[in-house]
Structure 1
Amino acid sequence: MSKVDPLIARHIPADADFPSEGYRVANWIENFCYLTGSFAGQRFKLLDWQRELLVDAYRLEQDAFGAWKRKHRMAVVCIARKNGKSTIAAAIMLYHLIADRADAQRQIIAAANDRNQARMVFDAAKQMVNASPKLSAVCEVQRDIIRYKDSTYRVVSADAGRQQGLNPSAVSLDEYAFSKNADLFDALTLGSAARNQPMTWVVSTAGPDPDGPFAALCETGERVNSGELVDPTLFYRSWGPRLGDTVDHLDPEVWKACNPSFEILNEEDFRAASQRSTEASFRIYRLSQFVRGASTWLPHGLWDSLAREDTLKPGEAVVCGFDGSWKGDSTALVACRIEDLRVFVIGHWEAPADDVHWRVPMADVRAALNEALTTYRVMNLVADPYRWEETLDNLEAEGFPIESFPTNSLKRMIPATQSVYDACRDGRLSHDGNPALARHIGNAVLREDKNGARVTKEYAASRRKIDLAIAMILAVHGAVMWREDNGAFTDAPILATWEEDGQVFAYGGSAEFFDDL
């Protein structure tokens, strides 16, 4: 029986359960690597879970010829953010660049879905080299490459096109949960087939797509760990809840169980994040739990708890939100009273479920817009202009305050969605209990990706309408912005009042509206 490589064997404790190169990897990291970020300049002292991870992932077994080799060729780690995954990945890749004895001429790759994400691990490695007198003495550090003798460590990304011709001996693939396809993963893993003992580390937080390539890889890992599948080359470790598991995301014990570095993290930061973030975001990023993109936008029962009996009176200052359509959908007009952020539905036109030929009564909608603008003190009408450009242009030409807000703009909808969510969670928002609005909010689902969170239909062709929810977001976000821009709420001047059919109307919009009267 052949012996384990003496340089590896001397690091393996006598009482070890199995031989592992991980002991050597761990000792090398602690002897040569320095931390980055808040702990920059300090020696890398592995946490217990990090050392255990390395020992398990680099387990050694004898092949058919009696040679000791790595059992696993791929390590998949699903772990929440803030646990130092980029730092440990960078240190592991430096080990493979400098101290890996499985290859003489090594090619190390830091990869991710986009170049900025890929550079996070690579830049951490550069900082470690520069901080270490021993590593900086033997490595040449350039912008996109680290060289050690005839070996290289460089960065690649999926958005740079198909990565062909790669022959990596070790790879770190970061945040794979946000990849839409497996093209880069396939190029990296298939390209290493000619290597002696290649090692691929896929380290990612769970994501919003439980049907994506990383989720499928994690599912395979779960099946391997349970014994359902046999794949000795795959190592899988996760601390987060499994898909479908029910855990209380507000329970500190859950935070601790899902974050192996919790002992050095700030519990108050978790508590604050659990309050200011959406539930889906918190579960994904802080618990590393896969959450379906069709997860409910608001926590169960929250919207109902904000209902108040009230009516909107003529002359009250509001911001209106408008989301229009022209056929087969619905059109919505919602007002948010600026004084107390109370929401009222003032117009709604929705296609009957059994009428495929239904069209929005555009004349009725225009009349309702004019009535709202002249009945209430509309400080702003925030509207999606799609298919309603001419109507909105005419209203603006008449002197009414109109703000174009394309709801397909992620840069605008993501912060607006968060702003309204915060107002709901804080109890600053209330509403008139309109059942159609409640239904549309119940239909709205949260879509999470690398850009952020916003509400949408559960799928594009869904007949479950959400237009009132969108109009409500435009109105509330507009009212919040108006209050921030104008300081504490003060009554704006009423420019005109009149009486029709015994009812008093007031207008507080733009003075230009009255120039020709």
Structure 2
Amino acid sequence: MTTIDKVIAKHIPQDAPFPSEGYRVARWIEEFCYLTGSFAGRRFRLLPWQRELLVDAYRLEQDAFGRWRRKHRMVVVCIARKNGKSTLAAAIMLYHLIADRADSQRQVIAAANDRNQARMVFDAAKQMVTASPKLSAVCDVQRDVIRYKDSTYRVVSAEAGRQQGLNPSAVSLDEYAFSKNADLFDALTLGSAARNQPMTLVVSTAGPDPDGPFAQLCETGERVNSGELDDPTLFYRSWGPRLGDTVDHLDPDVWKACNPSFEILNEDDFRAAAQRSTEASFRIYRLSQFVRGASTWLPHGLWDSLAREDALSPGEAVVCGFDGSWKGDSTALVACRLSDLRVFVLGHWEAPPDDAHWRVPMGDVRHALHDALKTYRVMNLVADPYRWEETLDNLEADGFPVEAFPTNSLKRMIPATQSVYDAARDGRLTHDGNPALARHVGNAVLREDKNGARVTKEYAASRRKIDLAIAMILAVHGAVMWREDNGDFVGTAILATFEDDEGIHIMGGEPGMFDDY
């Protein structure tokens, strides 16, 4: 009897629909592995979906010589975050390090696009070994490698530049959706050609690029599952909506369908996340749905619903946002009233569509900036300094409050984008209905990556301008921050202001309190 025959006889139930090594993998994990994180110290008890995944992914078939071999060499799992995918991947890789009988001198790899992400699975495996008396007795755990006899389990990332020359028997590739190319994937999968029965486990949440390498791999998996393609070595499973599917991202039944671990997750957390996150972020991370990077920033109809007929009166307290340019683009000046976070366009200069020689009328822009600063009580002018450093420096030298805000700074734009989205979604932000601003907001698309979400053009050379939207974000975010630092203006009228060595001070009161005087 061969080794695999013994495995089948010992671990596979009599009523199993087909032979699978997954039964042995499941039993080994529950026998030797312990959970990490919030459930640290508890034995690993597989959830029904995890057990089913192992059985299906490790299906066995006989080859032409009657030998039992793994049907699948590539297992692709597309699953939303918080479902325990990294923990499961770590346990599977430990199985391949210690108990895989298809190879004797095994090389197991934890891989990802960057080293920090790759270490998430590897560190979970280290914690499992440390927590298990039986595993820690036979494994040597070091910072970047776990050794078992002549076999190793180590970390590799695309940025490390060490992915070539490997001969892995098993690989876990984490969060592949955020890889810009397939270089690491190709190096790892092509390097295992000499192995007897190599296994590559790609586990990732869907991402913002439906044309990227992981999305293409998932599309291939869907075509294999439907019978359109014949590739028995590829196994694919996803719980999220397919690209183009229309689902209500606020429906708890959708949450449950897209999250196989939903029974142990917190529904209130999903509800809160749906309110505080952008729709694109929620669909990607909580539903594992591929969302086009060019998806609109705000939900359809939201901006139009926030329009109000109003005018900004001289002397009102505002924060201004300024996004300047030089040629071929547009320059925008937007004010946000502090009392109610209502947005007004104060100036906009945009290149005509067919005028390649157009230049921003810099004199007109400077005049508009001075006019705004003199007409309104500008508590802060939040401005992108690119190409406008001298003008902004002169304004600051004249005593006006100027805050440089480079819009190419992800650390600043990401929280600003989220802050303005929250204000719009909650109805705290309104605007004057300016059609150019509405067009620019509609042109703005959301870009999602490992750093977070921010607005941008759909592509760098796009003629669809977004400068008014950027200036609006600077103004509203600046107003929100100013209110947090100086008190909420809701329901308060600006009665008088004065300035001393400590800054600008505002005296307020109830609206209409002096109407009789």
What TM-score comes out, normalization by structure 2 length? 0.95
Partners of 1:55 and 1:495 lie apart in 2 by 73
- What's the counterpart of residue 177 of structure 2? 177
Partners of 2:181 and 2:161 lie apart in 1 by 13
- What's the counterpart of residue 394 of structure 2? 394
- What's the counterpart of residue 137 of structure 1? 137
- What's the counterpart of residue 358 of structure 1? 358
Residues 1:19 and 2:19 aligned together: yes
Partners of 2:162 and 2:154 lie apart in 1 by 16
Partners of 1:408 and 1:278 lie apart in 2 by 20
List aligned pairs for 1:157-168, cutoff 5 A: 157-168=157-168
Code of the aligned partner of 1:452: G
Q: How far has the Cα of 1:487 moved from its partner?
A: 2.4
Q: How far has the Cα of 1:54 moved from its partner?
A: 0.2
Report the secondary structure of 1:494's partner residue: strand
List aligned pairs for 1:235-250, cutoff 5 A: 235-250=235-250
Code of the aligned partner of 1:356: A
Q: How far has the Cα of 1:2 moved from its partner?
A: 7.1
Residues 1:471 and 2:471 aligned together: yes
Change (3 A) 1:492 1:137: farther
Q: How far has the Cα of 1:484 moved from its partner?
A: 1.0
Report the secondary structure of 1:344's partner residue: strand
List aligned pairs for 1:100-111, cutoff 5 A: 100-111=100-111
Backbone CA RMSD of aligned residues = 1.4
Code of the aligned partner of 2:380: N
Partners of 1:65 and 1:438 lie apart in 2 by 68
Query: Is contact 2:8–2:19 with CA below 8 Å preserved after alignment?
Result: no
Report the secondary structure of 1:453's partner residue: strand
Report the secondary structure of 1:296's partner residue: coil
- What's the counterpart of residue 261 of structure 2? 261
Q: Which moved more, 1:274-283 or 1:136-145?
A: 136-145
List aligned pairs for 1:183-332, cutoff 5 A: 183-332=183-332
Please, which runs of 5 or more residues in structure 2 have no aligned partner?
506-517
Partners of 1:303 and 1:144 lie apart in 2 by 50
Q: How far has the Cα of 1:354 moved from its partner?
A: 2.2
Q: How far has the Cα of 1:493 moved from its partner?
A: 4.7
Partners of 2:336 and 2:285 lie apart in 1 by 32
Report the secondary structure of 1:29's partner residue: helix
Code of the aligned partner of 1:254: V
Code of the aligned partner of 1:214: F
Q: How far has the Cα of 1:256 moved from its partner?
A: 0.5
What is the percent sequence identity of the aligned residues?
89
- What's the counterpart of residue 511 of structure 2? none
Partners of 2:496 and 2:378 lie apart in 1 by 12
Residue-by-residue CA offset, 1:47-88 (whole Å, 9 max, x unaligned): 110000000000001111111000000100000000000000
Query: Is contact 1:401–1:510 with CA below 8 Å preserved after alignment?
Result: no
Partners of 1:460 and 1:289 lie apart in 2 by 25
Partners of 2:464 and 2:419 lie apart in 1 by 24
Pairing partner for 1:494 from 489, 493, 497? 497
Change (3 A) 1:169 1:492: farther
Partners of 2:238 and 2:427 lie apart in 1 by 36
Query: Is contact 2:34–2:40 with CA below 8 Å preserved after alignment?
Result: yes
Report the secondary structure of 2:497's partner residue: coil
Change (3 A) 1:392 1:300: same
Code of the aligned partner of 2:265: L
- What's the counterpart of residue 39 of structure 1? 39
Partners of 1:87 and 1:225 lie apart in 2 by 26
Partners of 1:488 and 1:311 lie apart in 2 by 21
- What's the counterpart of residue 375 of structure 1? 375
Query: Is contact 1:3–1:68 with CA below 8 Å preserved after alignment?
Result: no
Partners of 1:161 and 1:430 lie apart in 2 by 49
Code of the aligned partner of 2:219: E
Q: How far has the Cα of 1:326 moved from its partner?
A: 1.3
Partners of 1:322 and 1:91 lie apart in 2 by 52
- What's the counterpart of residue 515 of structure 1? none
4+ residue segments displaced more than 4 Å = 490-493
Residue-by-residue CA offset, 1:305-347 (whole Å, 9 max, x unaligned): 1111110000000000000111111110000001111100010
Q: How far has the Cα of 1:5 moved from its partner?
A: 2.7
- What's the counterpart of residue 67 of structure 1? 67
Partners of 2:141 and 2:134 lie apart in 1 by 13
Q: Which moved more, 1:291-300 or 1:352-361?
A: 352-361
- What's the counterpart of residue 336 of structure 2? 336
Change (3 A) 1:163 1:492: farther
Query: Is contact 1:400–1:510 with CA below 8 Å preserved after alignment?
Result: no
